[in-house]
Structure 1
Amino acid sequence: MKDGWSKHNFLEAIEHLIDANQQDTQTPWISRQQLCQHFQQRYQTDPEAIAHQLTRHPKGLRYLLVKGDRFAIYGTSQPGEYYVARRDKGVPNRLKSGHPKPKQRPNGKVNERPNVSRSSQTTHRRKATASNALNHLKAMLASLDTQP
């Protein structure tokens, strides 16, 4: 099955490799590097090249995995490296603490930072600065009134 990959067949092959890895390692996550190695061994072709042919996107494999809701991606500090898991297996809808999982951004990454709008932060800073300036002016006027 070297040529003629459809997106559906390609993603099913990725799912099967992730499932096999999960049975061996007891973890739902597999690194991009391991996934590519397993794919290369099983199908004698590069999954990055297939994904690029299917998507015409520079980050073909990652783009294809993120595009649908079948996979979860966990980025690392190393460029181009990430971990992949199937969403329907092993990736719970709740965290260990019992709280709901953080919402996903459109690019598939977890949005863990609280959403505080920049305008509200800026407004708060402006109010504090204006208040300090007003107090300073009042102190200057008071000192002028006390001078002979």
Structure 2
Amino acid sequence: MKTLSFCLILMCTAGMLVGCGGASDAPVTYPVSGNVTLDGEPLAEGNIIFRDAAGKAASAAGKIENGEFSFEAVAGKKAVVITATREVPGKTAVGGAPDEPPVPAIEQYIPDTYNEKTTLEAGVSDSGANEFTFDLKSK
């Protein structure tokens, strides 16, 4: 009887372990990194998004700091979106309660050909280095 109980416990435990370590539905991602410059200078800070060109896979995104970025993305052809904002000197944003201090206005200063109407692309590979350089021009 002890042997039968032990065998049942062992089989149940083995079944749970196999179930926990089974296949995952999470997509496989690969490291991507690189540099972003604006008019030849490293972009101080901003955001970068890799969107699946076919619209079937999830987007991946990361922060740009001192012209460099690093994050993970699924393999495939990507549309690349780069954004960066800054305060507009001397302007304030509309809204807020009347008794609240004014809020500085913020502007997107990267041209829309790199974000809203992006022309940038990248191909994330499942093998090899995924290092990209994006040299942006303000005009």
Give the TM interval when normalised to the shorter protein: under 0.3
Which of the pair has more CA radius of gyration?
1
- Larger RCO of the pair (alpha carbons < 8 Å, separation 6+): 2
Return the structure number with greater helix share.
1
Report the TM-score, using the length of structure 2 for normalisation: 0.21
Relative to the length of structure 1, the TM-score reads 0.20
